[in-house]
Amino acid sequence: MIKKSDKKNVKKCIRTNFNFYLCPNLYAMLVPTMTTEEVCKEIKNDYPAFYEKMLDNKASNYRKFIKAVLFPVIHQFSWKSSSGNMWNVIMLARYRNERKCPGIVPYLKYENWGMGIIYPKNIYSNLSIIDFKPHFWKRYRERQLIANGLEGISFDEQIKYFFLNSGLFTFDFREGSNKGHEGFVGYTKTGIFFGVVIKELDYLCVKTYVSANMLFDNQIESLDSADELREKILSHPDYFQKRGKLFHIMNDSSFWMDETIR
């Protein structure tokens, strides 16, 4: 929803053939003509100052978490970088044992045929740029939120729900055949997501989402961690054999999904 104070800015929005809108003070300053290389460069230029801001905010709100009695505990704030990007942060402690070291989820929203987010995360000691594409959120909404009676929540609430209920991500990477790029499977407590990697940019493009209930035909109980779902999947490759070209079973019983399947 666009605020009244921002209506005058709508006229300044840049529209391209790809329907990517750049609206001042609404989402991000990432322009539609940027290449993936340019996007990654801008995100990594922002990150050092943004990281310091996150640590400062975490320290100033430490008591909110350490003194908490009821969980989960969530704290949110926004920060605008010198380049004009409006960053958002969710700090959360899902359980009591996380209160001393709450999780930090930084993200940057953008609009391009729907809403997506850029999520920087350290993987294997490197800062990776994880791009949750609009199509991922479309599938997450259809396959997870609507199935749980949450079809009416805002995009910001969808983001918060995803990170609050997914647990810590686990990744499997695979040398793929998608134009020479590596593929990956990301595991959460509630389902899995798929995409491709551009190694030289530390860039992960998340394309789609499949819920655990879809994978196991609603024959699965609630899980405590992403690792638990991963173990269950890898120990039951027969669940995927019947799904034809969607899933490919490897010799080590791991599997991957054809990245072109939407």
Instruction: Please tell me the least confidently modeled range out of 44-53, 58-67, 215-224, 235-244.
Output: 235-244
Three-point CA angle 166, 167, 173, nearest 5°: 85
pLDDT at 252 over 60: no
Q: Record the pTM.
A: 0.79
Residue 24: cis peptide before it, omega within 30 degrees of 0:
no
In DSSP terms, which residues pair with 185 in a beta bridge?
172, 194
pLDDT at 7 over 60: no
- In the chain, what are the domain boundaries? 1-109, 112-262
Three-point CA angle 169, 167, 51, nearest 5°: 70
Helix/strand/coil percent split, the chain, to 5: 35, 30, 35
Whole-number pLDDT of residue 81: 94
Cβ 22 vs Cβ 3: under 8 Å: no
pLDDT at 238 over 60: no
Both tokens of 160, joined, read 């918060």
Cα 87 from Cα 77, distance rounded (Å): 9
pLDDT at 243 over 70: no
Each residue's pLDDT tens digit, 14-42: 232 223 333 333 444 677 678 899 999 99
